Amino acid sequence: MKVIIFSAPSGAGKTTIVRHLLGISEFNLAFSISACTRPPRLHEVNGVDYYFISINEFKEKLHNKEFLEYEEVYTDIFYGTLKSEVQRLHDENKVVIFDVDVKGGLNIKKYFGDNALCVFVKPPSLEALQTRLLQRSSENEEKLKMRLGKAVYEMQYEKFFDQVLVNDNLEHALQEAEKIVANFIKK
């Protein structure tokens, strides 16, 4: 089973890149939907963008070892990859693609080893990242500071990824992502 992991600080563009790649039929990709305990953003749909579950339900699944990986990203805000989700996609003969935080990405890479491609999407600068987060209009000042602080921390992990993709120009980043994924799938 081959899997492809895209990780990045929040706002770097990994979700946009992953959505683009999912639209390329010859890659035969399927998105691994993560579970999380945060409330949905305006445009998000349960079972499409995330499985939105309660903290108690998340902790019960954690206790039952139902997660491939998980992370408490912020206090009481958990994200995780359900083993059942990955198995469902594998049973459909798909190449599973993940859009996860940095630690989750590295944990999935550790689990799948050489059968995993781990790509770090890097913003061109922290200033550009701040601008992108502000444009979302989903961040209050406290959350913005929290996300930027976490981004500084996460950028230290880029050296552990198989590939680093700088998203300074979206069209260029999409083309590079296509090349990276095509080369991995062909291996």
Confidence band of 138 (pLDDT split at 50, 70, 90): low
Classify burial at 79, counting beta carbons within 10 Å of its beta carbon; exposed 0-12, middle 13-18, buried 19 or more: buried
pLDDT digits (tens, 9 = 90+) for 79-124: 999 999 999 999 999 999 998 889 889 999 999 999 999 999 998 8
List Cα–Cα distances, 110 to 11, 75, 103, 132, 148, in angstroms. Answer: 25, 25, 11, 30, 26
pLDDT digits (tens, 9 = 90+) for 148-167: 778 778 888 999 999 999 99
Distance CA(160)–CA(81), nearest Å, equals 20
154-178 burial: b if 16+ Cβ within 10 Å, else e? bbebbeebebebbbeeeeebbebbe
SS3 content of the chain, % helix, strand, coil (to 5): 50, 25, 25
Q: How are beta strands 50-52 and 34-36 bridged, if at all?
A: parallel
- Its pTM stands at 0.84
Q: For position 101, what pLDDT does the model report?
A: 85
**What's the rounded mean pLDDT across residues 172-177?**
97
pLDDT greater than 90 at residue 37: yes
Q: For position 64, what pLDDT does the model report?
A: 98
| Domains identified in the chain and CATH numbers | 3-186 (3.40.50.300)
- C-alpha triplet 179, 47, 84: angle, nearest 5°: 80
The DSSP annotation for 108-168 comes to HHHHHGGGEEEEEEE-S-HHHHHHHHHHHT---HHHHHHHHHHHHHHHTTGGGSSEEEE-S
pLDDT digits (tens, 9 = 90+) for 39-94: 998 899 999 999 999 999 999 999 999 999 998 988 899 999 999 999 999 999 99
